[in-house]
Structure 1
């Protein structure tokens, strides 16, 4: 039986947005649970503040899944910010967010067999995001833990340009990697979505958000590309 999988929602997203992905994975034989976040749970993290409340819910979910399935490991799927938050969760360094009183320590890498990140911005030039991402990249650069399989999935859909229909992508890419004229999924540029030492994948024609009316990372067409890494 495949290991159970935990989905970590992206920034300002709720678990509801991942219901279809969760069902698709279950239909494919992968027991799957989504961290039960609500959109309002992210409010306390705005402005670059601590993501400890999200990490706590992730940890609670992982522990419940380990017990429910009587297993010692799970797979993690982190969409967007859920990917770099998962990298904090794996780590052995105390995490002290900007508004935390006490540091938190998760040390979850022995519990995770595979981490799949979907459209995750693993870098940022934006000042509110950089504190958390600098913590991740300074302490756990690249595919840091050798006992964890890192799979980073990027989308090649929109080339950022200063013209109608491409402005949002251009601005988002520039805030993320420092240049707007590059390819990405409309929010995250390819170069930011990959990690050194990981198994890095590019899928053409997919959009960033699970709320997109078009194909996104969790759509059946994209899922068939990366679901093999959960085996």
Structure 2
């Protein structure tokens, strides 16, 4: 029996955008649920503030899923920012405190069998996101927990360049890894989407977001490439 799977949406995204991916995984035999986020749930995290509200909803969803399926572990799929947020969730170091509240610790790595990140920027040069991403990189570098299988999926779709049609990609790549002239999924460059020690995959022709025109990581064909890594 496959392990239950939890999907954590990307930044400013809601659970609705992942319904097709959720359904595809269900049809393949993986009991799947998406963290029930709404776009407005991200508002408290804007400007590089702590993502604690998202982590709290992730934790609640994981605990409910484990109980519902009488399971000891889950597969965790993090799209975009959901990937590095998942790495904070697995960690055992105190996360940023909020006001006078003690910094929370989730220490969920024993609950995660496989972490799959889809188009996740694991590094950033952008000042609003660096605080969170530096916390992850400094405390949990690479495929940090040996008992967790890390699978990092990158897209090779758009080469960033200072010309029409490639300018957004160029700017996004440069903000993420410091280099604009490189390959990526239109938002996240390959160089930022992979982790040392992980099973690093590259899929050609996928766009970053489920709302992008064309195919994205969760579309039927790209899904075949990475779903085999689920347990």
TM-score normalised by the chain length of structure 2: 0.99
1:157 maps onto 2:157 in alignment: yes
- Map of 2:106 onto structure 1: 106
CA distance, structure 2, for counterparts of residue 125 and residue 185 of structure 1: 18
Question: Could you tell me how far 1:212 is from its partner in structure 2?
Answer: 1.2
- Map of 2:91 onto structure 1: 91
Q: How does 1:23-172 map to 2 (within 5 A)?
A: 23-96=23-96, 101-172=101-172
Q: Which runs of 4+ in 1 moved over 4 A?
A: 97-100
The answer as to whether partners of 1:50 and 1:99 remain within 8 angstroms in 2 is: no
Question: Could you tell me how far 1:97 is from its partner in structure 2?
Answer: 5.2
CA distance, structure 2, for counterparts of residue 224 and residue 179 of structure 1: 30
Secondary structure (helix, strand or coil) at the match of 1:121 reads coil
Question: Could you tell me how far 1:99 is from its partner in structure 2?
Answer: 6.0
The number of residues matched between the two structures is 231
CA distance, structure 1, for counterparts of residue 109 and residue 57 of structure 2: 17
What is the root-mean-square deviation in Å for CA atoms of aligned residues?
Answer: 0.9
CA distance, structure 1, for counterparts of residue 104 and residue 174 of structure 2: 32
**Where does structure 1 lack aligned partners over 5 or more consecutive residues?**
none
- Map of 1:16 onto structure 2: 16
CA distance, structure 2, for counterparts of residue 86 and residue 100 of structure 1: 24
Question: Could you tell me how far 1:202 is from its partner in structure 2?
Answer: 0.1
**Where does structure 2 lack aligned partners over 5 or more consecutive residues?**
none
- Map of 2:2 onto structure 1: 2
